[in-house]
Structure 1
Amino acid sequence: MGYTTRVTGEFTITPPLTWNEIKGSPFSPYPPAGDDRIELVLRVDEKTIETEDGPLHRRTASALVMSEIDEYRAHGLLEVVQRAVDSFPGHQWSGRLDCEGEETADLWRVVIRDGRAVKVTPRIVWPEDGAE
């Protein structure tokens, strides 16, 4: 066992990734990439569209989310987020990942600013004496 971190949240991707961008990506939830269980995975939306030639099954990815990992350590999370951003140029990323370690004060977030994954830690402020 070891120190674990709970990670929640997601990054939305605009415009959504196309199937050609998804299928060969290490962030794809489908094999072969899906077999490696990378900590972040694309959330794929599937839609069937009726065309003159018959039904068309379309897959797009609109978000990057955490894989389901029982005991996640989060040591390389920032680097993995940056790798995802770098893998899909021409897309906008919004949202955040909220991270909470085992210790009470171990709170932080991963956000994307100007194409860079950044770790943000909160400031704890004590109220003035007598103020509530």
Structure 2
Amino acid sequence: MGYVTHVCGEFAINPPLTWTEIQLSPFEPIPTSLRRYSAANIDLYLRVEEDSVDTADGTLVRRTGTALVMPHIDEYRARDLVEQVQYCIDLFPDHAFTGRLDCEGEENSDVWRVIIRDGLAAKIQPRIVWPDEDGAS
């Protein structure tokens, strides 16, 4: 079995990725459980949105990658989550990633986030501060 971490949240991508960028990346636009193979061992995936655009030649369907997200995985270990986020950032240097992933382990004190600061993915942990004992709460 092993230690399980629950992850939620996302990183919005601006400007959105083009369809060509999506197709060339190892971050597939489908959840991990539906992948035929996962040679890159990547758990995150790209949210792809479609919009229709009327052109002189007919309706064009435009697909763009708008966010890097974590699918629901029942027994996720989160061993290399920060590295996977950094890998995506490095693949798309002309795009900005904003947001965070909130992570919670099996123990109640095991909470942390993955954030992006100055183009670098980082794991941050909260600071617990006790109130002063002089009557303030």
Cα drift, residue 78 of structure 1: 0.6
Cα-Cα RMSD:
1.5
1:45 pairs, out of 49, 62, 74, with 49
- TM-score normalised by length of structure 2: 0.90
Please give the residue correspondences for 1:80-99 in structure 2 after superposition, counting only pairs within 5 Å. Answer: 80-99=84-103
1:73 pairs, out of 71, 77, 83, with 77
Cα drift, residue 47 of structure 1: 1.1
CA distance, structure 2, for counterparts of residue 82 and residue 123 of structure 1: 24
Q: Deviations over 1:84-127 (max 9, x none)?
A: 10011111111000000000100100011111101111000011
Corresponding residue for residue 9 of structure 2: 9
Mark the runs of 5 or more structure 1 residues left unpaired by the alignment.
none
Q: Deviations over 1:3-50 (max 9, x none)?
A: 1001011001100000010012110225xx943273100000011111
Q: Deviations over 1:69-93 (max 9, x none)?
A: 1110001001000001001111111
Mark the runs of 5 or more structure 2 residues left unpaired by the alignment.
none
Corresponding residue for residue 118 of structure 1: 122
CA distance, structure 2, for counterparts of residue 53 and residue 128 of structure 1: 70
**Contact 1:14/1:91 (<8 A) preserved:** yes
- TM-score normalised by length of structure 1: 0.93
Q: Does 1:131 align with 2:136?
A: yes
Q: How many residues align?
A: 130
Percent of counterpart pairs with the same letter? 60
Which aligned segments of 4 or more residues in structure 1 are displaced greater than 3 angstroms?
A: none
- State the AA in 1 paired with 2:104: E
